[in-house]
Amino acid sequence: MAVQAGRQQFGPERGRIVLLTTRDGLAAQAGHDLTIEVTQWSAELEVADDLTPAALTVQVDMNSLVVREGKGGVKPLTDRDRREIAVTARKLLRTDRFPEARFTASGFDQGTGGGGAVQGTLSLAGSERPVRLEVAVNGNGGYRATGSVRQSDFGIKPYTAFLGVLKVSDAVGIAVDVGLPGDGSRTGTGEQS
């Protein structure tokens, strides 16, 4: 992969950001584990002359959430279900007041084989908390970053239904697949693994 020094800007044309929710509660089998894609986002990566990452900022439009998949559950998700879940998510995230989430890196740990980790601050729903993402080179020549956040750490009350016997787990997974500009790969346009 030909990573180049300098400032690089990219977004959905070069990758994919998904949020992964799981079910909890006594009626968990009735719900779905969801894959929710963020369809509007932008990133700016600064790469130093020695080709190590020096800065990273990611801005996410929280009104651009689209439910892509629902695993499990008593019945498959319909298009109507997907739309209703997206509306509910926007309400829980208070996107009317906080339409944007932002991740600003504060440090990079270089691992072997091109991977490592990135630490930073996530601003979401009016709160800021530290987040660590593990980074690995994926099979497409791009990068995959994974981590998780607890909704309650950001003042978000996880969704519940049926008097609380069905709920979304507090921890939400984050998976980011990207191909950097100029590396010849276009990552994240296929199905989520």
β-strand pairing of 166-168 with 53-61: unpaired
pLDDT tens-place string over residues 65-78: 999 999 988 889 99
pLDDT in the model for residue 110: 86
pLDDT in the model for residue 162: 73
Residue 167 CB contacts under 8 Å (≥ 6 apart), including other chains = 23, 24, 25, 158, 159, 160, 161
pLDDT in the model for residue 192: 37
Q: Report the alpha-carbon distance of residue 147 to residue 118 in Å, rounded.
A: 10
pLDDT in the model for residue 161: 78
pTM of the model: 0.85
pLDDT in tens, the chain (193 residues): 457 889 999 999 999 999 999 988 666 677 889 999 999 999 999 999 998 889 999 999 999 999 999 998 888 999 999 999 999 999 999 999 999 999 999 999 988 777 899 999 999 999 999 999 999 988 777 899 999 999 999 999 998 877 666 788 999 999 999 987 654 444 443 333 3
pLDDT in the model for residue 67: 95
Whether 151 contacts 157, CB under 8 Å = yes
pLDDT in the model for residue 18: 97
Count Cα neighbours of 93 within 13 Å in the Cβ-side half-sphere: 21
Rg for the chain, CA atoms, rounded: 17
CATH topology of domain 6-178: Lipocalin (2.40.128)
Q: How far is CA 103 from CA 2, 22, 121, in A?
A: 25, 23, 6
